[in-house]
Structure 1
Amino acid sequence: MSPAPLTAPIARTVNGPDPYVWLEERDNSAVLSHLQAENAYLEVELAQQAELREALFSEIKGRILETDLSLPSPWGPWLYYQRTTAGDEYPRHYRCPRPTDGSLTVDPLQEQLLLDPNALADGGFISLGAFSISPDHRLLAYSLDTQGDEIYQLYVKDLASGAISALPFEDCDGSLTWANDNQTLFFGELDDTHRPHKLYRHSLGSDSAELVFEELDGRFFLHCYRSSSERQLILLLGSKTTSESWVLDADTPLGQFRCMAPREDEHEYDVDHGLLDGEWSWLIRSNQSGINFALYCVKESAASESAPERQHWRELLAHDPQVMLEGLSLNHDAYVLSLRVAGLPIIQVHPHGLPSYRVQLPDAAYSLSVQDTLEFASPVIRLRYEALNRPAQIRQLELANGAQQVLKETPVLGPFDADAYISQRLWATASDGTQVPISLVAKREVLGQPAPLYLYGYGAYGECLDPWFSHARLSLLERGFVFAIAHVRGGGELGEAWYRAGKLEHKHHSFSDFIACAEHLIASGYSTPAQLAISGGSAGGLLIGAVLNQRPELFAAAIAEVPFVDVLNTMQKPDLPLTVTEYDEWGDPTDPQVYARIKAYAPYENVAAQAYPAMLVVAGYNDSRVQYWEAAKWVAKLRATKTDTNLLLLKTDLEAGHGGMSGRYQALKDVALEYSFVLKVLGLQAAQNPNQP
């Protein structure tokens, strides 16, 4: 039987400059009723896709090895690893004795269950924050968010007895950092705007904690972590444009942190501790000589109370205007640099006493990173590598000679051949002549004729959308889709200058770049406006909202997840989480010029009486980063203003936060919903996976 017809919910308006401001009243029953009505409307409109949604979910799930063992990580006398089991939402955390032969073979008969998030969740939301083993391997410190609001409860578990202690602290950011005495923990506290602003020191067995540091500047977040050498604790204070590091010997946790270099506006730096030329040293990544960062060092013996200043830093690697120094990893035998060259990640290894080299990889476009290792003294490190057509691999790299070994590749069950897909790097020309990279993947036989195309974008905070593999995406590719990523300005794919060219007064470049990518894909015969779906989340949702206002005729469908679309109103509310820290990204609208600039592109403000493509908008009721009402207000204004009859749907996860629902199966159901929406809009809802009988 068909579901009863249901009309789209129409939100009431109020007098004033923001007619839908009442939707910000979280505890108002009318607000909850409106969100529930929107959810019900979505289910009715997509009821005919219920079978397809279930088929997509089963199809995606069928490619994933549900019962699996992660690659064990050796540390001290143990191997640490995770197991996933069919039917469980979360992996369980284990350890077993480390084999004497140096292998990574797990002994199930001797393994010890450390933490089971499935039991802790009990069917509800749960997100694991810290998972930190004490240096002597006796204790586990961990943190849990059970609401999706990214506020954590702290726990310590005795791994011998199984006894668990809940630490009596509130408003915690979820971080937990051990000192080397195995008794002292450092943790962060959130302020009213959800900013980690205080660092506390806690001794086990005590009901109190000592305030170690308080950051009063609302632009700065604090974060405490252990150095690579395990000999130092580092407190990093950072805004979007400025940073400052304080350090403390991990063997003397009751001592005082000391500053490596006092903050100066626009100076960003971070530090790590390890060996250089046989001496314990600090290595510093700093932008003091150029926006793409350079590498410096200072011997530990020189970094005394009287001489940690920047004038004592010795340059190891000079600034290069063509190469971005993104990160640094230290090991007993080498230091390893994460670089970005021509939009691609590069790993450059500097073994002690040997020539440096760059890691060689098989694909033209890919994602690559140094995976954190548990042990400082090791002749090898691990790299994570993947491409649009290649599942994630964990590769072991021998630091001395560059030899690689694939230790584990994420399995894909059922028919799959990476070579059946072709991955490309294209370049679109933006309105100002700038060349904008596009990463693209499709089945080989699809290319050469216009096809349904799913275009994804983000373009903010200097984040890099490096090509990644997706089990779920295969369901689109197998149905003849092309998948593409627009690497627009505002991201970090082409270095710091690329980021700066898409923020503040240059934010409009993000939108024009995305439009240029869409136009290039259409002009080059990859797709047509009637076959083009676009998607983005959070700040990428702002991107989607802006381009829909500017060029709605280019697209057939759009998905905006937890979209930051009410940017002008949000940036005028400094009491909201994260607002003040965002001024360096978007600007402070108390400045009339900034106000006018943001107002000119803010998606909510610029909804117009025009035809829009079909749209699916997703929000999280407990989202502390992008409040649920941004999506709700935007959809309400679109419903009242747009001139078309195309589908407009709002889904609010009433028990979720910024990342959506917490379990792996629920996440797959969310993807199945989005894909079924796209297939419906493009008239492909009856399409079956050719690989299915």
Structure 2
Amino acid sequence: MPLLPPQARRAPGSDPYHWLQQRDSPEVLAYLEAENHYWQTALAGQQALREQLFEEIRSRIQETDLSLPSPWGPWLYYTRTQAGDEYPRHYRCRRPADDSLQTDPDSEQLLLDPNQLAGGGYLALGAFSVSPDQQWLAYSLDRSGEEIYQLFVSNLLDGSLHSLPSEAADGSLVWANDNQTLFYVSLDDCHRPWRLLRHHLPSGHSEVVFEEPDERFFLHCYRSSSERQLILQLASKTCSECWVLPADQPAGTWQCLAARSPEHEYEVDHGWLDGRWQWLIRSNQTGINFALYRAEEHAAQRPDWQLLRAHDPQVMLEGLTLKRDGYLLSLREQGLQVLELCRSGQVPCRLEMPDAVYSLAIYDSLEFDSPYLRLRYESLQCPAQIRQLHLHDTTQQVLKQTVVLGEFSSEEYASQRLWATAHDGQQIPISLVARREVLAGQQPAPLYLYGYGAYGECLDPWFSHARLSLLQRGFIFAIAHVRGGGELGEAWYRAGKLAHKENSFSDFIHCAEQLSASGLTCPAQLVISGGSAGGLLIGTVLNQRPELFAAAIAEVPFVDVLNTMLDPELPLTITEYEEWGNPQEPEVYQRLRNYAPYENVCAQAYPALLVVAGYHDTRVQYWEAAKWVAKLRHCKTDQHLLLLKTDLEAGHGGMSGRYQGLRDTALEYAFILHALNLAPH
């Protein structure tokens, strides 16, 4: 007798599955449990394959490892992972007199063990912040996946532990320079960081110092690079405002550098430039790709800003990192990350990288006075490296490279950058990697295409131990850098949001068509995947062109976009108006209605589909996936697998432990192999 999938009850009205939004109701929980039982039963024959994939992936990872120690004052700080443990332990030891990075077992001190704190359940570590005098450790823990944190302070001298009186904290913790004052942020009823509180350790008293009533704005507090200033940033998706306070005056009055104005985004940092303390400001006041300004420490209002680097319509200024001996600009040009070193009296110098397509970021700025800075570099075929940059002569030294155990050589793989032509002639970049013989074979191969395309986020190429299990089976892995992301600058982002959101979907479809037309793959071998806003992308293209794909994976997918945006009581909805629009406006309503995945499910054949949700997800509620799957079951005309996996103890990021994450990946890969008829029988 064939296995029958669950059939959700259809209620009267325009949204027959609205009842699935009744969190914790017996009927909803019973339905989610039934779906979980269904996927477990449907995939029971893959258990051996899943275990094989899990062991494959695990065998490549150096399970017992030591992170690269970070020097700070008299200490080295580092983490150590042990085989069998889900989380790394945090340590410090005395800094060697020769300034090497050699750890000292005799002085080693265990600072935090998340394995013990987790007790086998969900655990996410938020902040991990040591006080300036290095006698206190402030940290935060999320035990449910809801991204609501408990706050703790540990005395590193006597081991005593204190908890902070916050019921809804976002997890951030910022020290003042008196080593007795902590600033933290609380969430409102819509899960928005909106209130800054100051906590005095000796008295145990907390008080509110700032509130942001505008529901479009998020509040964020951090220390400047110089360690001399505290910075409070209030930001919506199109506007920002910064307030500053000397770090050694925690009870002082915050000062606003530039009052918010429509479409003006800026961020500030504080450092040493030309022999004096100054502010550096990244601002879009003269162009969407941002320019760089400087201002004197005590004269930093907007009229006082002096231009350091002009706006460039071809190059996006993404960020800056300050050191006493210079500063590093993070740029993006033609879709690639570029780092440019700027030092007083010298011509700016761009750093050279070995691969044509790569990911590059500041890994650790180290101490402000240090002449060194650490970079993280990786590519689709090159495991991550931690490189040390010498600011004086720009030389780079590889301090640590991620180990891949077993038979692996990056030379056996090749990465490429291709371009697809969109409906309006725009060229859409595609990054891909495969074994060299697969690309040279000139035969269609199974291909895994990933996409996101929202919020200006960049999908820079990254290495994956797990992905090797697909590549070694002849797969090609590709990333579609569609509009809505930030890979080609701010204009690329704006061309895929609000009234231009359809570009994200059509770009992805053109990428899929290009990959098939070029002979790299074919629809019968093409798998697509995306999560969160990338799940919206997957849901929409499945409605529009299901025949292009053999299978799809949608993780915590934002597929009920219209109903979510119509409900301002849901977490984060109002802040999202600047990304998707406010459907209370008739034109916006129709636009969202035209592409919303849930509303546009229809009677047609769909590819095999695995949908993953987190019951405690506060960003994309579990019911979006559940309602979408229920409607697909009712409407679709094919017999392909449709599976809903709801992690009942997880949130937006899935399960928290590293082995739990590997098992989830093994499950997805086994599903793909089964859907493409590549799984062993």
Give the TM-score normalised by structure 1. Answer: 0.97
Q: How far apart, in 1, do the equivalents of 2:122 and 2:401 lie?
A: 29
1:431 is displaced (CA, Å) by 1.1
Matched, 1:397 2:394: no
Matched, 1:180 2:174: no
What letter matches 1:508 in structure 2? Answer: E
Matched, 1:346 2:322: no
Identify unmatched segments of 5+ residues in structure 1: 688-693
Write out per-residue CA displacement over residues 476-510 of structure 1, whole angstroms, 9 at most, x where no aligned residue.
00000000000000000000000000000000000
CA contact (8 A) 2:321 2:365 kept: no
CA contact (8 A) 1:5 1:44 kept: no
Q: Match for residue 503 of structure 2?
A: 509
Q: Match for residue 362 of structure 2?
A: 370
Residue number among 373, 396, 400 corresponding to 1:408 in the alignment: 400
Extract structure 1 runs of 4+ deviating beyond 4 A: none
Counterparts of residues 276-287 of structure 1 (less than 5 Å): 276-287=273-284
Residue number among 630, 635, 646 corresponding to 1:652 in the alignment: 646
CA contact (8 A) 1:245 1:270 kept: yes
1:439 is displaced (CA, Å) by 0.2
Q: Match for residue 115 of structure 1?
A: 112
Q: Match for residue 329 of structure 2?
A: 337
CA contact (8 A) 1:542 1:564 kept: yes
Q: Match for residue 92 of structure 2?
A: 95
Secondary structure, in 3 states, of the residue corresponding to 1:30? helix
What is the percentage of aligned positions where both structures have the same residue? 70
Residue number among 33, 46, 49 corresponding to 1:49 in the alignment: 46
CA contact (8 A) 1:609 1:643 kept: yes
Matched, 1:544 2:538: yes
Counterparts of residues 240-639 of structure 1 (less than 5 Å): 240-303=237-300, 308=301, 310-447=302-439, 448-639=442-633
Q: How far apart, in 1, do the equivalents of 2:39 and 2:355 lie?
A: 41
Matched, 1:194 2:186: no
CA contact (8 A) 2:482 2:507 kept: yes
Q: Match for residue 55 of structure 2?
A: 58
What letter matches 2:437 in structure 1? Answer: E
Q: How far apart, in 2, do the equivalents of 1:207 and 1:113 lie?
A: 25
CA contact (8 A) 1:422 1:442 kept: yes
1:370 is displaced (CA, Å) by 1.1
Secondary structure, in 3 states, of the residue corresponding to 2:5? coil
Secondary structure, in 3 states, of the residue corresponding to 1:390? coil
What letter matches 1:576 in structure 2? Answer: L
1:6 is displaced (CA, Å) by 3.3
Write out per-residue CA displacement over residues 580-605 of structure 1, whole angstroms, 9 at most, x where no aligned residue.
00000000000000000000000000
1:355 is displaced (CA, Å) by 2.3
After the TM superposition, which of the residue ranges 486-495 and 367-376 deviates more from structure 2? 367-376
CA contact (8 A) 2:366 2:374 kept: no
Q: Match for residue 210 of structure 1?
A: 207
CA contact (8 A) 2:366 2:372 kept: no
CA contact (8 A) 2:165 2:206 kept: no
Secondary structure, in 3 states, of the residue corresponding to 1:472? coil
What letter matches 1:438 in structure 2? Answer: I
Matched, 1:142 2:151: no
Q: Match for residue 76 of structure 1?
A: 73
1:109 is displaced (CA, Å) by 2.3
Write out per-residue CA displacement over residues 590-645 of structure 1, whole angstroms, 9 at most, x where no aligned residue.
00000000000000000010000000000000000000000000000000001111
1:569 is displaced (CA, Å) by 0.1
CA contact (8 A) 2:556 2:614 kept: yes
Q: How far apart, in 1, do the equivalents of 2:40 and 2:424 lie?
A: 43
Secondary structure, in 3 states, of the residue corresponding to 1:175? strand
Q: How far apart, in 1, do the equivalents of 2:5 and 2:272 lie?
A: 64
Write out per-residue CA displacement over residues 633-675 of structure 1, whole angstroms, 9 at most, x where no aligned residue.
0000000001111100000000000000000000000000000
Q: Match for residue 666 of structure 2?
A: 672
What letter matches 1:413 in structure 2? Answer: L
Write out per-residue CA displacement over residues 336-364 of structure 1, whole angstroms, 9 at most, x where no aligned residue.
10000000000000023322100000000
CA contact (8 A) 2:615 2:648 kept: yes
What letter matches 2:98 in structure 1? Answer: D
1:528 is displaced (CA, Å) by 0.4
1:311 is displaced (CA, Å) by 1.5
Secondary structure, in 3 states, of the residue corresponding to 2:107? coil
1:267 is displaced (CA, Å) by 0.2
Secondary structure, in 3 states, of the residue corresponding to 2:11? coil
Q: How far apart, in 1, do the equivalents of 2:521 and 2:322 lie?
A: 45
What letter matches 2:250 in structure 1? Answer: P
Secondary structure, in 3 states, of the residue corresponding to 1:416? coil
What letter matches 2:354 in structure 1? Answer: P
CA contact (8 A) 1:431 1:512 kept: yes
Q: How far apart, in 1, do the equivalents of 2:183 and 2:165 lie?
A: 14
Secondary structure, in 3 states, of the residue corresponding to 2:438? coil
Identify unmatched segments of 5+ residues in structure 2: none
CA contact (8 A) 1:354 1:400 kept: no
Q: How far apart, in 2, do the equivalents of 1:84 and 1:134 lie?
A: 24
Secondary structure, in 3 states, of the residue corresponding to 1:209? strand
Secondary structure, in 3 states, of the residue corresponding to 1:99? coil
Give the TM-score normalised by structure 2. Answer: 0.99
Q: How far apart, in 2, do the equivalents of 1:475 and 1:384 lie?
A: 24
Q: How far apart, in 1, do the equivalents of 2:9 and 2:512 lie?
A: 35
Secondary structure, in 3 states, of the residue corresponding to 1:338? strand
1:208 is displaced (CA, Å) by 2.7
**C-alpha RMSD of the superposition:** 0.8
Q: How far apart, in 1, do the equivalents of 2:312 and 2:393 lie?
A: 25
Residue number among 3, 27, 30 corresponding to 2:27 in the alignment: 30
1:160 is displaced (CA, Å) by 1.1
Q: How far apart, in 1, do the equivalents of 2:166 and 2:205 lie?
A: 8
Q: Match for residue 6 of structure 1?
A: 3
What letter matches 2:316 in structure 1? Answer: M
Secondary structure, in 3 states, of the residue corresponding to 2:258? coil
What letter matches 1:218 in structure 2? Answer: E
What letter matches 2:311 in structure 1? Answer: H
CA contact (8 A) 1:53 1:673 kept: yes
Write out per-residue CA displacement over residues 249-293 of structure 1, whole angstroms, 9 at most, x where no aligned residue.
001000011101000010000000001101100000000000000
Write out per-residue CA displacement over residues 169-195 of structure 1, whole angstroms, 9 at most, x where no aligned residue.
210110100000000000000000000
1:5 is displaced (CA, Å) by 5.4
Q: How far apart, in 2, do the equivalents of 1:670 and 1:206 lie?
A: 45
What letter matches 1:120 in structure 2? Answer: L
Q: Match for residue 690 of structure 1?
A: none
Write out per-residue CA displacement over residues 378-435 of structure 1, whole angstroms, 9 at most, x where no aligned residue.
1110111000000001000111221000000010000000010000000000111110
CA contact (8 A) 2:366 2:373 kept: no
Question: Number of matched residues?
Answer: 679
What letter matches 1:636 in structure 2? Answer: A
